[in-house]
Amino acid sequence: MNIERVAEQLVVDEGLRLKPYRCPAGKLTIGVGRNLDDRGITHEEALLLLRNDIRDFWGALCAARPWILCAPAPVQEALLNMCFNLGLAGLLGFTRTLALLEAGRHAEAADAMLASKWARQVGGRAERLAHMVRRA
């Protein structure tokens, strides 16, 4: 059996959709007929998607604020976590926090993070990320 030939046939027969949709049977579906309602995704697939998302967010974050490449690792990791949670546009709305981090004023940046609406919404996540930034 030629798996690649079958895959090509299935792309023709099922179609390829990169966003979730409802198939004719009403099941939430994605990709090439992947039934998310009944099958979902595997642990390994979820982690592959996560790694791809992390790579994409990191690229967008560095393109938007190149100074982040020179920031201490805990600052990079905290900002990437926030970017994943808020989206790039949401993170870029933290203008004061980002300016303080760019200036190396980590403790003040951590305080600014904790004074935000976001911190009230995510609770312990904000505490943990602010702690990382403060220690950097």
CATH number at residue 96: 1.10.530.40
**Residue 9 sits in the same domain as residue 67:** no
Domain that holds residue 11: 3-35
If asked whether residues 51 and 30 sit together in one domain, one would say no
7 and 65, same structural domain? no
Per-residue pLDDT 10s for the chain (136 aa) are 999 999 999 999 999 999 999 999 999 999 999 999 999 999 999 999 999 999 999 999 999 999 999 999 999 999 999 999 999 999 999 999 999 999 999 999 999 999 999 999 999 999 999 999 999 9
With tokens 């312990």, the residue in question is: 124
Contact 130, 120 (CB under 8 A): no
Same domain, 76 and 126: yes
Q: Is the pTM of this model over 0.85?
A: yes
Q: Which two tokens stand for residue 72?
A: 């201490």
In degrees, rounded to 5, the angle at the alpha carbon of residue 97 between the alpha carbons of residues 95 and 99 is 65
25/52 same-domain check: no
Q: How many domains are there within the chain?
A: 2
- For residue 116, the SS3 value is coil
Q: Are residues 31 and 48 located together in one domain of the fold? A: no
